[in-house]
């Protein structure tokens, strides 16, 4: 399939785009807490621009101090921020992309801890996800913020940006005015459609007054909010008619708000290009160019969107975090070399839990310079034991640096735990990560040995200069009476497809893995019950994915018994005991163990005892059971250190 439509030029007023791929505004969390731009942030944008998108929209820049949603947010409310933003615009342009910027106010979607005052909004309605009182904006306050949007736009032009986008989506301040979900004002900035649109319209008019008629102006809207009284596509079309008349040139069609974040950053459960139909309806109704967004992670899908006329431009945000070279690889026909975003939402989870953006499939994200791949000073023979995600990645990195790499895997296929993890319907995209690594290690010249269990004698025969162990982990079997019963199964036994799906299943363990297996079995017709000792199901799972997964489990009538442990297993079911000692019987044809793993590290001690005097590394579960992201990140570092 050719990509002629995707790689055709496009014009937005004076702004010429060389293709139809846009990187939308995405928080990098590489901004200092005083708003200054770091060298890492500049390198982050340089890398994305150098990969070949037509335009890069710099992350949301706050137009006012009380509009910040995070200490690491970019800012544009003072002249002192122009220099740093200008450096980003310069590197984007130097790499051949159009530099654009998004201007933004968080409204109620922030906290007093961040802004040191009560958040402001269209109304007194609090943010659904952030506790605390909210202060409705006065008419004077509204006029002041409109003026600040104008000031921000002038600074953006001074910094060298060629397009400005107003963030009117995702539950932030402009969206709070547009939507009856958050706007219950009774003055001229509330009530009917014209009233709710007035704030946004006056911002657009202010920008037009400051910038003139020729400067390209974009508006990002949540065309659907998926909440009671929220925006729908039909309502959004009518609002956008007012905004286009005021001076908007192009619309980015997104979805969701602070109550429905799963529509802002869609997890694996969501269909690819799940918002392209909304974009198509708006494009047809308004006769204005639109940008589609929402799980467009594949150039082939992007091509179809443009070819069908659903949108004029496609936003590929997480896809460019996963592989900044995606556009160039696609244009050159190197589709099999693209690291596809798998919508695991690691990037979102890392922001909230670690304070920086990270990526499961791209461990160099946010540290591109320090993780630059350098040729090895001395070529070595590197032995990698285990072909899971960590083993595959360390083999690839070591081979790319010039080492001779031998990869041993005791199973008949590569991929390790990821193969099992990709069995469930909604996680099949994990296969793209496995297949990417398999192709790349082959291209890099890694010698692969399948069905090969490594012993100390194997190591002596290979005579390596370094050994990397990625031997994984073994499922834990708890000391429960009846654990030896024939109805007890491990995860591989349930997911290998060799057994019929049981009519009734009890899963011991309500973590991420237990819930994913429950989803798979319930989807295939089993009546599933999860028994979890902790008070919360899937507590460590990324929050957006967790929300969608638990809803689907409830919809499939999966039962949860939290605060329970199994006391014994019988031939036709189990006994579960609650924290207060109450025991109940749960009938089952199958009992699945999903309570975790223990490291498989015997080989490490055996090799260590040989006293070979060579570097010996451990990666991933064989060191400590953990995520694929952690294994790949460790592999990236060790592969560069050998």
Active site residue 172: yes
Looking up tokens 């192009």, which residue turns up?
Answer: 250
What DSSP string describes 262-320?
A: GGTS--TTSPTTTTHHHHHHHHHHH-S-EEE-SS---HHHHHHHHHTTS-SEEE-HHHH
Query: Distance between CA 164 and CA 208 in Å, rounded?
Result: 11
DSSP one-letter code for 76: -
Residue 586 CB partners (closer than 8 Å, separation 6+): 506, 529, 531, 561, 573, 574, 575, 576
Query: Taking the chain, what is the end-to-end CA distance rounded to the nearest angstrom?
Result: 40
Is residue 521 within 8 A of residue 505, CB to CB? The reply is: yes
Half-sphere exposure of 259 (CA within 13 A, CB side): 17
Please report, for residues 207, 263, 591, 637, the alpha-carbon distance to residue 306 in angstroms, rounded to integers and kept in the order given: 29, 22, 48, 39
Please report, for residues 164, 244, 279, 325, 426, the alpha-carbon distance to residue 361 in angstroms, rounded to integers and kept in the order given: 31, 39, 28, 14, 17
Strand 573-578 vs strand 583-587: parallel, antiparallel, or unpaired?
antiparallel
Tokens of 368: 């591109």
What DSSP string describes 202-215?
A: HHHHHHHHHH-TTS
Planar angle of CA 374, 375, 377, nearest 5 degrees? 115
Query: Distance between CA 435 and CA 495 in Å, rounded?
Result: 19
From the list 77, 172, 426, 604, the catalytic residue is: 172
Cα 626 → chain centroid: 19
Active site residues: 172
């Amino acid at each position: 399939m050719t990509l002629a439509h995707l790689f055709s030029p496009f014009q937005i007023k004076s702004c010429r785009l060389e293709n139809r791929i846009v990187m939308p505004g995405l928080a990098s969390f590489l901004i200092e807490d005083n708003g200054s731009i770091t060298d890492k942030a500049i390198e982050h944008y340089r890398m994305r621009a150098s990969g070949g998108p037509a335009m890069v929209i710099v992350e949301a820049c706050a137009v006012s101090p009380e509009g910040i949603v995070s200490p690491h947010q970019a800012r544009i409310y003072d002249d002192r921020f122009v220099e740093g933003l200008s450096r980003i615009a310069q590197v984007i342009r130097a790499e051949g992309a159009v530099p654009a910027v998004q201007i933004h106010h968080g409204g109620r979607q922030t906290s007093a801890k961040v802004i040191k005052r009560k958040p402001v909004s269209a109304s007194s309605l609090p943010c659904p996800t952030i506790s605390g009182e909210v202060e409705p904006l006065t008419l004077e306050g509204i006029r002041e913020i409109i003026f600040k949007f104008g000031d921000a736009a002038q600074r953006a032009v001074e910094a060298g940006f060629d397009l400005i986008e107003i963030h009117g989506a995702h539950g932030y301040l402009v969206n709070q005015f547009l939507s009856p979900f958050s706007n219950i004002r009774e003055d001229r900035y509330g009530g009917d459609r014209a009233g709710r649109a007035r704030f946004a319209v006056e911002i657009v008019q202010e920008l037009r007054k400051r910038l003139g008629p020729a400067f390209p102006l974009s508006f990002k809207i949540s065309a659907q909010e998926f909440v009671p009284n929220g925006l729908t596509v039909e309502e959004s079309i009518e609002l956008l008619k007012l905004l286009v008349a005021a001076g908007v040139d192009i619309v980015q069609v997104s979805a969701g708000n602070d109550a429905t974040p799963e529509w802002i950053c869609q997890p694996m459960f969501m269909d690819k290009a799940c918002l392209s139909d909304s974009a198509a309806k708006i494009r047809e109704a308004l006769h204005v160019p639109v940008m589609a967004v929402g799980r467009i992670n594949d150039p082939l899908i992007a091509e179809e969107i443009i070819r069908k006329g659903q949108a004029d431009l496609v936003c590929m945000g997480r896809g460019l975090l996963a592989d900044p070279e995606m556009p160039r690889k696609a244009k050159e026909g190197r589709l099999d070399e693209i690291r596809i975003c798998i919508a695991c939402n690691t990037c979102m989870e890392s922001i909230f839990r670690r304070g920086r953006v990270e990526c499961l499939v791209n461990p160099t994200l946010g540290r591109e310079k320090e993780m630059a791949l350098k040729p090895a000073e001395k070529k070595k023979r590197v032995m990698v034991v285990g072909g899971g995600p960590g083993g595959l990645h360390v083999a690839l990195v070591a081979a790319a640096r010039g080492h001779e790499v031998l990869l041993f895997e005791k199973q008949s296929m590569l991929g390790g735990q990821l193969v099992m993890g990709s069995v469930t319907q909604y996680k099949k995209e994990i296969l793209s990560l496995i297949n990417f690594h398999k192709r790349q290690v082959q291209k890099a010249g890694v010698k692969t040995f399948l069905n090969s269990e490594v012993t100390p004698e194997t190591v002596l025969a290979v005579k390596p200069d370094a050994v990397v162990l990625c031997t994984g982990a073994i499922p834990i079997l708890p000391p429960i009476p009846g654990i030896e019963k024939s109805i007890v199964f491990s995860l591989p036994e349930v997911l290998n497809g060799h057994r019929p799906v049981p009519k009734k299943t009890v899963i011991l363990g309500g973590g991420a893995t237990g819930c994913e297996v429950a989803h798979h079995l319930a989807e295939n017709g089993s009546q599933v019950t999860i028994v979890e000792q902790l008070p919360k199901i899937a507590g460590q799972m990324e929050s957006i994915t967790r929300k969608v997964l638990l809803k689907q489990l409830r919809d499939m009538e999966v039962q949860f018994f939290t605060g329970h442990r199994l006391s014994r297993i019988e031939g036709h079911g189990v006994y579960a005991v609650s924290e207060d000692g109450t025991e109940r019987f749960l009938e089952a044809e199958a009992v699945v163990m999903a309570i975790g793993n223990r490291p498989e590290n015997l080989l490490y001690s055996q090799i260590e005892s040989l006293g070979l005097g060579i570097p010996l590394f451990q990666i991933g579960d064989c060191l400590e059971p953990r995520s694929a992201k952690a294994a790949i990140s460790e592999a990236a570092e060790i592969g560069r250190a050998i």
